[in-house]
Amino acid sequence: MNLLSTPPEPVGSQQDEQEQFAQMPLTSHLMELRTRLMRILGIVLVLFFVMLPFANRLYEGLSRPLRAQLPANATMIATDVTATFMAPFKLNFFIALMIAMPYILHQIWQFVAPGLYSREKRIAIPLLLSSIVLFYVGIAFAYFITLPAVLTFFIHAAPETVAPMTDINSYLGFCLKLFLVFGLTFEVPVATLLLILAGIVSVETLVAKRRYIIVGCFFVSMFITPPDALSMAMLAIPMWILFETGLFFGRFLEKQRTHS
């Protein structure tokens, strides 16, 4: 089933591409996959070692929202001897992975593209680029908006007799989880479009189920965010808005498919 109705292309050329790809032996596919994986590993390691001298500064930047909320006599602590080294080390690897993400997705695309038809490639490329941008936007939203708000809530909710001193490993784990959750959540428009384009659901069906989807956004947020109403709302509301964005573009694509 075609995802979009587009002008027909020469059938012979499409079949030739598919046949050439199908006729490649399994060893050739495995060799190609190994090459792509080695390139991905190489770029991640290069970025990791390039940024390694700045690992402590990167962690200082990550901890800035927390340090801004701590009382004057409070500070971050390390409860493990290796934590002062491992926490910046882990963060450095995570940032290297995030910076390399466009290249990683490009390598994955280069591996799977020969098995796709030309019209499928035209659809996949904008969706791929959109997913990269939305992932970065989700991480930025988590760092600049959600994280300061959540930390402010938790710091001010602490009893006066308790001095908040967060372990650097615990804080890193909390931040990375938050970044990944928001990065993946911001892929909701892409996922919605894929479901519509693949014919799994229609725009009318999603509109009819909107109230249940909104409740589902809050239900999912309740389990994957810290246990407070603020964190849940700051994830569920963007999820809802992003779903509506995907629905809007889904209507546009369905109209194009109908008129074609």
Q: Which of 241, 258, 240 is nearest to 202 (CA)?
A: 258
C-alpha angle 8-190-181 in degrees, rounded to nearest 5: 160
pTM, to two decimals = 0.81
The confidence band for 189, taking pLDDT boundaries of 50, 70 and 90, is very high
227: left (phi over 0), alpha (psi -120 to 50) or beta: beta
Q: What are the tokens at 18?
A: 């598919």
Task: Tell me the pLDDT tens digit for each residue of 5-17.
Answer: 444 555 455 555 5
Q: What is the pLDDT of residue 123?
A: 80
Q: What are the tokens at 233?
A: 């709302």
Long-range contacts of 9-13 (CB under 8 A, 24+ apart): 9/117, 9/118, 9/119
Q: What is the pLDDT of residue 260?
A: 60
pLDDT at 88 over 50: yes
Task: Tell me the pLDDT tens digit for each residue of 108-158.
Answer: 888 877 776 777 677 888 888 899 999 999 999 999 999 999 998 888 887
Q: What is the pLDDT of residue 256?
A: 73
Give the position of tokens 């963007």: 238
Q: Is the dihedral of CA 6, 10, 11, 15 positive or negative?
A: negative
Task: Tell me the pLDDT tens digit for each residue of 11-61.
Answer: 455 555 555 555 566 788 788 889 999 999 999 999 999 999 999 999 999
